[in-house]
Structure 1
């Protein structure tokens, strides 16, 4: 009986997560039917530690690489600029996690950057934003992806119906905390409410929690091909 073909995996981004996934694919991928096809990074110089055959220097060459699965762990602008093209040739995993963090862990844009700087200076717990999710996404694209995944998973609410609350808290320097509250429609304030809290250990100032690394690796193994759709985890 012919063995199933190994799935070729491409990685967009070579930061903490990209390096971890590349190492896992090289060390543990073959017995699982996974092969590292290439790694691409906005800064091609960062790929110097990889063999030349594993460096994809031009995303325009992606169709010729025979890749089956593309994992995006780069800046959000990469998915925005190239996601549609990638879906035409391979499955595409949008793998992002956002948590309430210490002020140093936020990568804010625009006016939110000033709020984060003020939170760092004050040394006190600060609510950076509370309101509809949609306007927050471009202000903290690296930090609101759990919220964005919830909005996609709940199409009845979407980005305008989901309420986002982003908190900078110096008392949790090495944790990322996500609290999800689901509330049903009730009468006179009496309604069903379910709350879950997740605490993910993280290095001081890190954007990605430690447990997220294993989560990404498990998701990559479970993705067997889904016809060019986007997978959330």
Structure 2
């Protein structure tokens, strides 16, 4: 039996998640047959002294020269918007900012690029609990409703537009910032609702227009991120009744951080699953 070849991983973004993934690959890469192909960050200086110079990629447009098998975007939705199709033409792509898929045109282009190239567009489950079960219900045609509520301390939200102004109301009391279709929420909270975007991709029969997102700012929980999912579905024909599951995930988080602590390990598990699943979208 031939020895398994290392998968070369390109990391795009060197924030909290990017740093974690780089360190994990350097520490445990041999065990999982992974190696770094490159690390890119908008601010190159942030990598100095932390990432060896030969692994630093200064010009993202030259990513193909590094021959990555998997490219991991953990920077900002604009990266996948601008480079997603190019990434997929050369490698499998794990997008840590799936809020970009709320744009119908971008989602369509990326699906088509995956189909043409044969590479996989991976959607990490992140803080979403039960994503595979939601996806199975969608595939069976039994999924009827999905509501995702995310509650965080106001300092953990990076918001745009009128949501940024509304956040000021939550300094002293819990405040519902938004309730409605996830598609409309993603552009206003692109860094905060990736869990909701992953849920929309899992619940593909409902999609961004019919999955309901609720965003709550609560000053009483500085060290927690709460994610509640309410799933409703149909039972087998003739049995009657409505199937329903409610889960609440309590994720420890550093004060003011966008990403909860448990989500880092979830990203690592998602990366380990990126072994090529053909030209399609794959929740991992």
Mean Cα deviation higher: 191-200 or 8-17: 191-200
Structure 1 residue 148 corresponds to structure 2 residue 203: no
- The whole-number CA distance in structure 2 between the counterparts of 1:124 and 1:83 is 40
Q: Which residue number in structure 1 is paired with residue 142 of structure 2? A: none
Q: Which runs of 5+ in 1 are unaligned?
A: none
Structure 1 residue 2 corresponds to structure 2 residue 51: no
Shift of 1:229: 4.3
Aligned pair count reads 228
Matches within 5 A, 1:83-94: 83-94=84-95
Q: Which residue number in structure 1 is paired with residue 264 of structure 2? A: 213
The C-alpha deviation readout for 1:112-148, integer Å capped at 9, x for no partner, is: 100112212xx10000000111111100001111111
Secondary structure in structure 1 of the residue aligned to 2:152: coil
Structure 1 residue 196 corresponds to structure 2 residue 247: yes
Shift of 1:185: 6.1
Root mean square deviation, CA, Å: 1.7
The C-alpha deviation readout for 1:80-123, integer Å capped at 9, x for no partner, is: 11111101111111235464210100000111100112212xx1
Shift of 1:184: 3.2
Structure 1 residue 133 corresponds to structure 2 residue 134: no
Change (3 A) 1:73 1:162: same
Matches within 5 A, 1:98-177: 99-120=150-171, 123-177=172-226
Q: Which residue number in structure 1 is paired with residue 54 of structure 2? A: 53
Structure 1 residue 222 corresponds to structure 2 residue 273: yes
Mean Cα deviation higher: 11-20 or 72-81: 72-81
When you count helix as a share of all residues, which structure comes out higher?
2
Secondary structure in structure 2 of the residue aligned to 1:138: helix
- The whole-number CA distance in structure 1 between the counterparts of 2:213 and 2:56 is 38
Q: Which residue number in structure 1 is paired with residue 102 of structure 2? A: none
Contact 1:143 1:207 in 2 (8 A): yes
Contact 2:158 2:192 in 1 (8 A): yes
- The whole-number CA distance in structure 2 between the counterparts of 1:184 and 1:228 is 29
Structure 1 residue 78 corresponds to structure 2 residue 79: yes
- The whole-number CA distance in structure 2 between the counterparts of 1:86 and 1:42 is 17
Shift of 1:24: 0.9
- The whole-number CA distance in structure 2 between the counterparts of 1:89 and 1:198 is 36
Secondary structure in structure 2 of the residue aligned to 1:192: strand
Secondary structure in structure 1 of the residue aligned to 2:277: coil
- The whole-number CA distance in structure 2 between the counterparts of 1:171 and 1:14 is 30
Shift of 1:218: 1.6
Q: TM-score, normalised by structure 2?
A: 0.76
2:229 to 180, 204, 221: 180
Q: Which residue number in structure 1 is paired with residue 27 of structure 2? A: 27
Contact 1:93 1:232 in 2 (8 A): no
